[in-house]
């Protein structure tokens, strides 16, 4: 499969990690929408902390499994 390559945006080289950051954010927004629609947000004692932890887990999964 090979190592991820830098992304060229108009002559600016962007690390693949930046792409993973934005992809994790998009996934987190989708998960937040689903959790909100199902009414599961009240299950967490501190929802912002749970969202931050979920973001880190999503980001780590993207890096490890390399979509």
pLDDT in tens, 16-34: 888 899 999 999 999 999 9
Structure tokens at 50: 């749970």
Q: 67 CB contacts (<8 Å, ≥6 apart)? A: 23
What pTM, to 2 d.p., does this model score? 0.82
Classify 28 as helix, strand or coil. helix
Residue with tokens 């993973």: 20
55 versus 12: the higher-pLDDT residue is 55
Classify 27 as helix, strand or coil. helix
Classify 12 as helix, strand or coil. strand
């Amino acid at each position: 499969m090979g190592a991820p390559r830098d992304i060229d945006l108009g002559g600016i080289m962007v690390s693949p990690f930046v792409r993973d950051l934005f992809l994790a954010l998009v996934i987190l927004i989708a998960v937040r929408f689903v959790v909100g629609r199902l009414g599961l947000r009240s299950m967490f004692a501190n929802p912002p902390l749970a969202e931050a932890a979920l973001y880190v887990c999503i980001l780590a999964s993207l890096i490890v499994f390399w979509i």
